[in-house]
Structure 1
Amino acid sequence: MAIREILQLGNRELYDISREVSVEEMDYVKGVIQDLHDTMMEFRRKYGVGRAIAAPQIGEKIRVLYMNIGEPTPFINPKLIFEEDEMIEVWDDCMCFPNLLVKVMRYRKCRIEYRDEDWNERSMKLEDDLSELLQHEYDHLDGILAVSRAINGQSFAFRGEMR
C-alpha cells in the first residue's frame, strides 16, 4: 500500500501537461494505478468523498486516471469526445483543494476512449455526474484546475457554506 501526497492548489506542477504512456511502461503504470487507488481510498476515509483521481495529482505526469465507484476503473491515455453541446452547471470539488467548491460549466454527456490495464482499447459513455467527474479528472492531464474554469468571481464556496 502506497499512499502518496496529493499536490495542493498553488503547486506549479499541477499546471504541467502530462505525457502519454507506452505499452512497454505498463509495469510502472500498474504501480501508479495502485498508488492512485490507495491514495484515493485514504482521502475518502479522511474526507468522506472521492470517486476519481488523476496521476498528476500525485506528481506523476502521465495520462492516467483512476475511478472507483464500486468497481476500480483505470483509464490509460484517455481521450474525451463531446458529441452534444448541452452543458450543465455544477459545484466542482477537488482533492487538491478539499474544502473549496467551484461552480463550473461541464458537458452533460461525453464519451471516453482509453486503454485498460491489459492495453485493450475501451470506450465508455458518461452522463451527468460521471460526465462531469471524468471531465474534471481529464483536465488535470492538461494542467487545468477547476478554479480556472470558474463561471465568475462569485463561483467559489467552502464546503458546507453554499446558499
Structure 2
Amino acid sequence: MSSETFLNICQIGDAILRGSAGPVTNFQDKRIQQLIDNLIATGRQANGVGIAAPQVAESVRLFIVASRPNLRYPHASTMEPTAMINPQIIAHSDEIVKDWEGCLSVPGVRGLVPRFKTIEVEYFDRKGNKCRQQLTDFVARIFQHEYDHLDGILFIDRVENPEDLISEEEYQKRIVP
C-alpha cells in the first residue's frame, strides 16, 4: 500500500470546480491508485463523507463515498470508503427528498438540496471491476453530490431558494441537535 498524502482542497471560485472531468482510462495507473489513497486520507482528515477528484485539482471522473459519523455529519451511517471510477446514475426513484448538505470546497455554508431518494448506479472500483448497486437516503445523496462535482456543479447551484442557505454555525446550532 502506498503512503497517503493530504491534498489541498480547491475552494469555490477555483475554475477546476466548474469544469467537466474526463474519464479514467487506466485503473491500474499508479497515479490513479495514489490519488484514491490520497482522496480517502484527505476526506477523512477534513471530516468529509465524500470527496471528488476535481476538488483536489485532478480533473478525472473519480470520487470517494465514505459515509461515517463525524463532526460535520454526526448522524451519518457507516460504510467503508469506496472509490467510484467513471460513475453513472442509470436509474432513480421518482421521490425527491430535500436535506442539508455542505461541501469541503464551499466552507462555512450549508444548503437544503433536493436529491433523488434512491438511485441505481454503475461504477468501476479501484481494481477495475464493474459494480452496480442501489443506493438510498444519505449514501444516495453523497453519490449525487460527488457526481455533480464531475460535471462542475456545486450543491449551492441546486438550492431552490436563497433562504435555504445557512452558515455552518447556524446549521450546528439549529439542525444537528
**Structure 1-normalised TM-score?**
0.91
Amino acid in structure 1 at the alignment position of 2:146: E
Distance 1:36 1:85, change over 3 A: same
Amino acid in structure 2 at the alignment position of 1:153: P
Question: Which residues of 2 match residues 4-153 of structure 1 at below 5 A?
Answer: 4-23=7-26, 26-44=29-47, 50-69=48-67, 70-153=79-162
- Contact between 2:84 and 2:123, CA under 8 Å: does it hold in 1? yes
Percent identity over paired residues: 32
Shift of 1:130: 0.8
1:81 and 1:15 map into 2 onto residues whose CA distance is 23
Distance 1:24 1:106, change over 3 A: closer
Shift of 1:42: 1.4
2:116 and 2:24 map into 1 onto residues whose CA distance is 27
1:145 and 1:68 map into 2 onto residues whose CA distance is 19
User: Aligned-residue CA RMSD in angstroms?
Assistant: 1.4
Shift of 1:108: 0.4
Unpaired runs of 5+ residues, structure 1, are: 45-49
> Which residue pairs with 1:47 in the alignment?
none
Amino acid in structure 2 at the alignment position of 1:5: N
Shift of 1:80: 1.1
Deviations 1:107-126 (A, max 9, x none): 00001101111111101211
**Structure 2-normalised TM-score?**
0.84
1:137 and 1:144 map into 2 onto residues whose CA distance is 9
